[in-house]
Amino acid sequence: MIYTMLIQIKNNLFNSRLAAVLLLGFSSGLPLALTGPTLQAWFTEAGVGLVTIGAVSLVGLPYIFKFLWAPLMDRYSIFQLGRRHGWILAMQAGLVVTLFLLAQLDPASQTLEIGLIALAIAFFSASQDVAVDAYRTDLLTSAERGLGAAYYVFAYRAALLVSGGLALVLADFIGWKLTYELMAILILCTMLPTYKAPAVNVVDVGTTGMVESFIVPLRELLQRDRIIILLCFIVFYKFGDALALSLMTTFLLHGIGFSLSEVGLAYKLVSFIATISGAFVGGYILLRSNLFRALLLFGLLQAGSNLMFVVLAVAGKHFFLMASAVFIENFCSGLSTAAFLAFLMSLCNHRYTAGQYALLSAVASLSRVFIGPFAGLMVEQLGWVQFYLWTFVLSFPGIVFLILLKEKVLSYAHATVN
């Protein structure tokens, strides 16, 4: 009896599908920092000017515009390996080659070449994200989506620690060339498990032409019932959370007066632990609760957690209070992220998973991308206490849109959109 129960729990919490999501989450997360903070550190060490270093940040543009070519991944297959496996393996191969090429260059004398190769790495990485998101959406059952999102968040964050933290330590001891080659080898090591990952049944999009491949997924999505409210919910559900986090480092350093080491310990390490813990708890709860109830509860907790920073702004410099506020906010953010990603997966028509998920995730990121200047103006006009009170208030429009969509959320959660 007990053995049977343990087997059932094990099958619920870990199986070959969830293992594949865990692996691919790591593969997706690893390249991001290598063309961002880690590359900036390499340029800084090489004495490259600040203007050039700032311009290098533009290599991240493929992550923003990946929805533009995502429909091609629904339309075409590669290498006869299946539409999802083929694209993922092709992008991983591209990453291995370009990372090895990047490792051979010198930032001081080959800045342009490094920038172009970094752009190629970002393109392969963003495209891999599209294919992995589509694969995850096609692979997981409706009951597994929340836990699958938790596995993905954990592996993605762990990979960011490797390429954004461990890579800096390695570079200090073995140099940048070997460090980037080692990162390429890590991607190479994911290719065999990717090849062996469970296959998915991808619905054929038919014989539509190139133009229709881009138009049809968008048109199918926009013809959904209550689509305007749905898109508003996607934009605003995590708006308050994104607003609260947009100036967090500045708030802790200059608003409160913590040191770099204190912020590094509490904000970076504690937030990592809290986010993945929240995502796992959220994913487990989703196994036993319906999606609407989870989105509502986690959204309310996410809103309430922002009030911890109101308390911190009033109380001033208290390390334990700061660490507690960071943990609570990121834990609640992890809860809501698990449910929100599960909801985005439920919305995708399996004929157009890659294109529609890429588009939906782009819509969801709008507030995070454009909120920075808005947040800065709010702090200048209102101060930190009022700013964080407003992050609490501005969390509720998303919850209102969620309540208006209750029946739709429940129907999508238990149905496969074909």
Tens of pLDDT, residue by residue over 36-54, are 878 888 888 888 786 777 7
What's the mean pLDDT in 85-108?
A: 94
Predicted confidence band of residue 257 (pLDDT cuts 50, 70, 90): confident
| pLDDT above 60 for 197 | yes
Q: What is the pLDDT of residue 418?
A: 45
| Interacting residues of 7 by C-beta distance below 8 A, sequence separation 6+ | none
Question: What is the overall mean pLDDT for the chain?
Answer: 84
> 139-143, 185-189, 342-346: which range is least confident on average?
139-143
Q: Band the pLDDT of 5: cuts 50, 70, 90.
A: very low
**Does one domain contain both 169 and 278?**
no
Cβ-defined contacts of 176-180 (< 8 Å, 24+): 176/42, 176/45, 176/103, 177/103, 177/104, 178/103, 179/103, 180/34, 180/99, 180/100, 180/102, 180/103
Neighbours of 166 (CB within 10 A): 14
Same domain, 350 and 319: yes
In the chain, how many domains are there?
A: 2
Provide the pLDDT for residue 23.
92
- 113-122, 341-350, 385-394: lowest mean pLDDT where? 341-350
β-bridge mates for residue 349, sequence order: 417
Q: Is 35 helix (H, G, I), strand (E, B) or coil?
A: coil
pLDDT number for residue 417: 45
Of the chain, the percentage scoring pLDDT greater than 70 comes to 89
**135 and 231 belong to one structural domain:** no
**In this predicted structure, what is the pLDDT of residue 223?**
83
Structural domain harbouring 270: 211-413
Q: Based on the fold, state whether residues 187 and 281 are members of the same structural domain.
A: no
Whether 6 maps to a domain, the answer reads no
Q: Among 172, 199, 226, where does a domain finish?
A: 199
Inform me whether the pLDDT recorded for 17 exceeds 50: yes
* Residue 204 domain-assigned (yes or no): no
Q: Are 382 and 328 in a shared domain? A: yes
CA distances from 133 to 110, 117, 180, 196, 356 (A): 34, 24, 25, 18, 10
Percent of the chain surpassing pLDDT 90? 32
- Residue 45: strand pairing partners: none
Same domain (yes/no): 27, 167: yes
Containing H/E element for 146? helix 145-161
1 part of a folded domain: no
The model's pLDDT over 130-174, given as tens digits with 9 standing for 90+, comes to 999 888 888 888 778 878 888 888 888 889 888 887 888 888 889
In a domain, 4, yes or no: no
Q: What is the pTM of this model?
A: 0.77
Q: Mean per-residue pLDDT for 102-109? A: 91
Question: What number of other Cβ atoms are within 10 A of residue 36's Cβ?
Answer: 20
Give dist(CA 377, CA 393) in Å, integer.
Answer: 17
3, part of any domain = no
Residue 165, amino acid: G
How far does CA 251 lie from the centroid of its chain? 23
- Clarify whether residues 74 and 116 are in a common domain: yes
Same domain? For 230 and 325 the reply is yes
Dist. CA 87–CA 89, nearest whole Å: 6
pLDDT tier at 220, thresholds 50, 70, 90: confident
Say what the pLDDT of residue 204 is: 61
Whether 5 is covered by a domain: the verdict is no
Output 302 or 202, whichever has higher pLDDT. 302
- The yes-or-no verdict on residue 189 having pLDDT over 80 is yes
> In terms of domains, do 81 and 133 share one?
yes
C-alpha to C-alpha distances, 398 to 170, 365, 393, nearest whole angstrom: 43, 14, 11
Residue 51: Cβ within 10 Å count: 8
Which pLDDT band holds residue 190 (cuts at 50, 70, 90)?
very high
Mean predicted confidence (pLDDT) in 69-87:
81
Neighbours of 12 (CB within 10 A): 15
304 by DSSP, 3-state: which?
helix
Burial of 113 (0-12, 13-18, 19+ CB in 10 A): middle
Whole-number pLDDT of residue 113: 92
Mind listing the pLDDT tens digit for each residue in 291-339?
A: 899 999 999 999 999 999 999 999 999 999 998 998 999 899 989 988 8
What 3-state DSSP class applies to 226?
coil
| pLDDT class of 26 with cuts at 50, 70, 90 | very high
Q: What is the CATH number of the domain that holds 169?
A: 1.20.1250.20
Q: Is 188 in the same domain as 216? A: no
Distance of CA 91 to the CA centre of its chain: 18
Q: How far apart are CA 378 and CA 277, in angstroms?
A: 31
